[in-house]
């Protein structure tokens, strides 16, 4: 695990020095959960049009990957996570002063269009516990989606004794829920657990998948959060950049930003 953390920091540190700086633009660097990639690009385009000379630069991955990088001394201007815990961790070391919740989401299950395992909402739990049905989830070590998924399995276990071990023992864990998408597209997993917004986005983009809602008695509401990084020996923040960071946060929480997030399957605050 330590080797993985070191590799993450090394990769983020190297990309820090290879951001294009053409035309003397002011770059706003954002580390963000890949679950918000599509709406964030749209909101970012609006921000660039409203602020001449500003260029948004994005890095998308599992929220925990960026938490490791920030704590390791590779800070962005803005950090967007899919939980509150990682933001609290940054507050403890004074990397940020505060954070705001800007959207909510829930988990959902999905199958490839062919659905050869015959999975439905009514038989979902029995299929999840069946070791012959392939299941792919996000890793709780790096992705809040993985934490929410394990919480869901624990909730199922309360009503179906022994279910947690049966499910967890055969679940294939990937770094990020975004990595589950191509498996669904190419029929390489029977069930994938992702954010509902991600699955709605796939349908919107024309991918043939079956979305299976997860009962509210087992589901967890995910909180998507935004924070602005403080100045530090690793991170110089000019007055202009500080102002721009706050204005982007304001846009994300505005009616315009919330409308775009809702269009991509998120619940507004």
Asked if 55 and 113 count as a contact pair (C-beta separation under 8 A), the reply is no
Mean pLDDT of 86-108: 98
User: Against a cut of 0.85, is the pTM above it?
Assistant: yes
pLDDT of residue 196: 96
Above 50 in pLDDT, residue 55?
Answer: yes
Q: Between vectors from CA 210 to CA 192 and to CA 124, what angle results, nearest 5°?
A: 60
Map 35-100 to HEC letters.
Answer: HHHHHHHHHHHHHHHHCCCEEEEEEEECHHHHHHHHHCCCCCCEEEECCCHHHHHHHHCCCEEEEE
Q: Which two tokens stand for residue 21?
A: 């700086």
How many CA atoms lie less than 13 Å away from 189 in the CB half-sphere? 25
- Burial (Cβ within 10 Å: 0-12, 13-18, ≥19) of residue 182: exposed
Q: What is the pLDDT of residues 105-164, one digit of tens each?
A: 999 999 999 999 999 999 999 999 999 999 999 999 999 999 999 999 999 999 999 999
Above 70 in pLDDT, residue 13?
Answer: no
CA distance 60 to 74: 15
* CB atoms near residue 92 (< 10 Å): 10
- Phi (first) and psi of residue 179, to 5 degrees: -75, -10
Q: Are β-strands 191-195 and 135-138 bridged in parallel, bridged antiparallel, or unpaired?
A: parallel
User: Are 2-18+25-104+222-268 and 108-213 equal in CATH topology?
Assistant: yes
Domain range 2-18+25-104+222-268, its CATH number among 3.40.50.10320, 3.60.21.10, 3.40.50.880, 3.40.190.10: 3.40.190.10
Give the mean pLDDT of the chain. 91
CA distance 174 to 192: 11
CA distance 183 to 187: 6
Of 240 and 153, the structure prediction assigns the larger pLDDT to 153
Q: Where are the beta strands (DSSP E) in the chain?
A: 26-33, 54-61, 78-81, 96-105, 107-112, 135-138, 171-174, 191-195, 209-213, 222-229, 267-268
Bridge partners (DSSP) of residue 29 are: 57
Q: What is the pLDDT of residues 157-201, one digit of tens each?
A: 999 999 999 999 999 999 999 999 999 999 999 999 999 999 999
pLDDT of residue 8: 52
DSSP single-letter state for residue 234: T
The domains of the chain are located at 2-18+25-104+222-268, 108-213
CA distance 66 to 9: 9
CATH code of the region 108-213:
3.40.190.10
Above 90 in pLDDT, residue 1?
Answer: no
pLDDT of residue 231: 84
DSSP single-letter state for residue 179: G
Bridge partners (DSSP) of residue 116 are: none
Buried b (16+ CB within 10 A) or exposed e, 115-144: bebebeeeebbebbbbeebbbbbbbbebbb
């Amino acid at each position: 695990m330590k080797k993985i953390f070191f590799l993450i920091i090394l990769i983020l540190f190297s990309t820090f020095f290879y951001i294009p700086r053409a035309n003397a633009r002011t770059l706003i660097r954002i580390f963000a959960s890949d679950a918000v990639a599509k709406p964030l690009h749209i909101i970012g385009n609006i921000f660039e049009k409203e602020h001449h000379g500003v260029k948004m630069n994005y890095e998308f991955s599992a929220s925990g990957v960026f938490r490791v990088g920030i704590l390791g001394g590779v800070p962005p201007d803005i950090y967007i996570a899919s939980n509150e815990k990682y933001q609290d961790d940054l507050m403890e070391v004074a990397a940020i002063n505060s954070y705001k919740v800007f959207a909510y989401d829930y988990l959902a299950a999905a199958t490839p269009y062919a659905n050869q395992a015959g999975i439905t909402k009514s038989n979902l739990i029995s299929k999840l516990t069946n070791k012959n049905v392939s299941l792919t989830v996000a890793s709780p070590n790096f992705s809040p989606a993985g934490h929410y998924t394990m919480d869901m399995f624990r909730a199922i276990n309360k009503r179906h004794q022994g279910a947690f071990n049966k499910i967890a023992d055969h679940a294939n864990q990937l770094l990020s829920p975004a990595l589950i998408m191509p498996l669904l597209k190419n029929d390489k997993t029977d069930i994938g657990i992702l954010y509902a917004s991600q699955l709605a986005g796939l349908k919107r983009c024309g991918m043939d998948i079956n979305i299976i809602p997860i009962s509210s008695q087992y589901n967890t509401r995910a909180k998507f959060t935004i924070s602005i990084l403080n100045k530090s020996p690793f991170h110089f923040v000019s007055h202009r950049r500080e102002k721009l960071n706050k204005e982007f946060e304001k846009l994300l929480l505005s009616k315009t930003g919330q409308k775009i997030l809702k269009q991509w399957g998120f619940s507004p605050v």
